[in-house]
Amino acid sequence: MALALIPEPKKLTRETGALAMPRAPSIGINDQTLHAAADVAREFLRHATISVSVNKVKDTLTLSLNPRLKPDGYRLRIGAKGIAISGHSPAAVQYGVQTLRQIVEQNGDRLPCMRIDDWPDFADRGVYYDICRGRVPTLARLMELATELARYKINHIQLYVEHTFAFRGHPKIGTGASPLSAEDVLELDAYCAELGIELVPSLASFGHMATILKWPEYHYMAEDLGVGKLVENNPLTSNFNLRGWTLSPAVPDIYPFLDSLFAEFLPLFRSKRFNICCDETWDLGMGQSHAMCKKKGKGVVYLNHIKKVRRLALKYGKKVQFWGDIIRDYPDLIKDIPSDVTVLDWGYAHNHPFDRIKDFKAAGLPFYACPGTSGWVTLFNRLPEAMANIAGFAAAGHKYGALGFLNTDWGDGGHYNFMEYSWHGYLFGAEQAWNTKAATRSFTSRFVKLFFNAEDKSFADAVTALGDVAQTGGWGYQSTWRHVYFACPGDEVLNLAKPADYSISKGNKIRTVRMRFDAAFGRATLTQLRQIRKTLEAQSKKKGVDPLGVLPYWIFAVDTLAHAAKKLSILGPGGRDSKARRKELGKEMTALMRRFEKLWMARNRRSEIRVTLGYYRKALRALR
């Protein structure tokens, strides 16, 4: 049986022989700081006892520190008489233990002899999850996320917050959004610390403030006064109705206001870092700060805000991070960013210009590579896009000395993308953050084996095929299938009769083709999805497969894609539209909406599910 490991180790050498695990294994440690790693080992080495290592006493597993190893590196040796794991640090020993877990889970009581020498390419390896575009997971779900990510050597988690924290000083914020409480954050922070994960606070502090500035008492702090009143026209703001989007630096009150938020939020985290976000300030300089930006320059006004927020954060012992998109428009100002500020360089396309991350290295700043799971504005994650984006950022970040790697997962438009869809991207990101040279071609089969506990090659093939279907798009980062799914008869996406360029994938290889997005394409896609569903459903019935209960969510994703394909085959160019077929579509979508709500409520708070249910109801009304 082939051994599957995620992340794939740097060096693995097979040796002759095997270790027969005793019925009552013992774990020896040579330092008290290794007790946490020993506890992790005891989870999968049943009935194991933990003791201090002593001469002439053989332990089944020996854990020790070795400062001569590479930073956070470990050495794992399985011999015929026992296992030894040494690490550069207590965290490194725990990484070695997690690798051993994967070996034991695949081999049971007889372990093949081998030696592994391993170390990470990035010191910080994180996942960034959006909890404010409609859905807030339950605390138990967030803890499960942390538990599983720790198994794949992730050591950093951030949760994106705009309004989904219950601020006592601002009770209006979070109304109707099922926000996290201070107790929730304290409990999650402590739990992450036990796992060796740093929970880093993240709070919108400039742009993306509409969920707060929508309230009348906060209108006056918005660039556009919260009512769309701009001095200069901004097509983006007008087209997307982004009222109250950005805090206005022309209003001095925004800094005491931010300080009041920080005072309640930041002390809950033991981390000394803080992501202030400050991305996509599209309307800056077009409203209340118009004169200020004309006088000083929009870039200077933007950077001055970063500096002011940095000083606020320092009051709470935090060094700030911020997204690097806006400052890129002002390259001459990059050198003026304070040297203790970390820039988060992001971009989510498969063909993103990854090498431009070197701009921040040239400025002498700490910086992170920040790809994404391509799971937003889609019915299932666009796996080919995500893998190319994650691998590209990992390679460039490692080449130019990025301090960390932060894999993002957003929920634009209501978060109808379930967290469960992103496990492939989370684990691929965990592997690339640890080992940028890992074999990408074998990843999906290793993922299926480790995450789903499944051996069947057809399962891995189905995952690849599902990612290929989801990849189809001609709408930038948005999935065309998502638009079809929620479309009403007569919408543009159902009337694309002329050939156009589309991004498609086959076997996880992306290419652009000129094609018709019509009824015939819908029928062909529906045939693909039926086979994918058949495979996933068969796997879901096997004993021991899918221990985290993810497949019901994946099968739902297949069914939503199939509904979209069926809708295109009926209402798209060349389709056979009829009253009876529309009624059939309506009945099917009603059932899907009920399943969506049930799946949501199984693992998440009620939050703002109304956003996505509104899409469903609008589409259903149009089919009557």
Model-level pTM?
Answer: 0.98
Q: Are 306 and 244 in contact (CB under 8 A)?
A: no
Per-residue pLDDT, 360:
97
pLDDT, tens only, 428-451 = 999 999 999 999 999 999 999 999
Domains of the chain: 11-118 (3.30.379.10), 124-201+254-440 (3.20.20.80), 457-622 (no CATH)
pLDDT, tens only, 289-300 = 999 999 999 999
The more confident residue out of 51 and 1 is: 51
pLDDT band at 361 (very low <50, low <70, confident <90, very high): very high
In the chain, how many H helices and how many E strands? 19, 17
- Please say if the pLDDT value at position 492 is more than 90: yes
Rounded distance between C-alpha atoms, residue 539 and residue 541, angstroms = 5
pLDDT band at 1 (very low <50, low <70, confident <90, very high): low
Give the mean model confidence (pLDDT) for residues 524-547: 98
Q: Are 157 and 149 in contact (CB under 8 A)?
A: yes
Contact residues for 118 (Cβ-Cβ < 8 A; gap 6+): 9, 10, 11, 73, 74, 75, 76, 95, 96, 99, 435
Contacts 24+ apart (CB under 8 A), 395-400: 395/354, 395/436, 396/354, 396/355, 396/357, 396/358, 396/369, 397/122, 397/357, 397/368, 397/369, 398/121, 398/122, 398/436, 399/355, 400/355, 400/357, 400/358, 400/361
The rounded mean pLDDT for the chain is 97
Give the mean model confidence (pLDDT) for residues 66-90: 98
The more confident residue out of 319 and 56 is: 319
Neighbours of 622 (CB within 10 A): 15
Per-residue pLDDT, 599:
98
Q: How far is CA 602 from CA 133, 219, 589, in A?
A: 18, 36, 20
Task: Return the H-helix or E-strand segment holding 515.
Answer: strand 509-515
Per-residue pLDDT, 46:
86
- Please say if the pLDDT value at position 475 is more than 70: no
pLDDT, tens only, 189-205 = 999 999 999 999 999 99
The structure tokens listed for 501 are: 């360029």
Per-residue pLDDT, 242:
84
3-class SS letters over 403-444: CEEEEEECCCCCCCCCHHHHHHHHHHHHHHHHCCCCCCCCHH
Rounded distance between C-alpha atoms, residue 234 and residue 490, angstroms = 28
Task: Return the axis-axis angle of helices 551-571 and 519-540, rounded to nearest 10°.
Answer: 160
Rounded distance between C-alpha atoms, residue 517 and residue 494, angstroms = 8
The structure tokens listed for 475 are: 């709408």
Q: How far is CA 503 from CA 277, 462, 480, in A?
A: 30, 20, 10
Give the mean model confidence (pLDDT) for residues 324-346: 97
DSSP, collapsed to helix, strand or coil, labels residue 117 as: strand
Per-residue pLDDT, 238:
72
Taking the CA of residue 14 as centre, how many other CA atoms within 13 Å lie in the half-sphere pointing to its CB?
A: 6
pLDDT, tens only, 336-356 = 999 999 999 999 999 999 999
DSSP, collapsed to helix, strand or coil, labels residue 611 as: helix
Question: Exposed, middle or buried by CB within 10 Å (0-12, 13-18, 19+), for 264?
Answer: middle
DSSP, collapsed to helix, strand or coil, labels residue 201 as: coil
Per-residue pLDDT, 476:
66
Percent of all residues in the chain with a pLDDT value above 70, rounded to a whole number: 99
Give the mean model confidence (pLDDT) for residues 586-606: 98
Q: How far is CA 544 from CA 216, 455, 555, in A?
A: 53, 11, 18
Rounded distance between C-alpha atoms, residue 462 and residue 445, angstroms = 10
Per-residue pLDDT, 166:
98
pLDDT, tens only, 230-276 = 998 887 777 777 899 999 999 999 999 999 999 999 999 999 999 99
Rounded distance between C-alpha atoms, residue 494 and residue 484, angstroms = 7
Q: Which amino acid does the sequence have at 90?
A: P
Rounded distance between C-alpha atoms, residue 616 and residue 416, angstroms = 11
Give the mean model confidence (pLDDT) for residues 171-177: 97
- Please say if the pLDDT value at position 14 is more than 80: yes
Q: How far is CA 271 from CA 198, 340, 342, 416, 494, in A?
A: 6, 15, 14, 30, 49
Which residues, listed in sequence order, are joined to residue 319 by a DSSP beta bridge?
273
Rounded distance between C-alpha atoms, residue 386 and residue 104, angstroms = 30
Rounded distance between C-alpha atoms, residue 585 and residue 143, angstroms = 38
pLDDT, tens only, 92-151 = 999 999 999 999 999 999 999 999 999 999 999 999 999 999 999 999 999 999 999 999
Contact residues for 128 (Cβ-Cβ < 8 A; gap 6+): 157, 158, 159, 160, 202, 370, 406, 407, 408, 409
DSSP, collapsed to helix, strand or coil, labels residue 547 as: coil
Per-residue pLDDT, 566:
98
Rounded distance between C-alpha atoms, residue 329 and residue 19, angstroms = 59
Q: Are 504 and 513 in contact (CB under 8 A)?
A: yes
pLDDT band at 478 (very low <50, low <70, confident <90, very high): confident
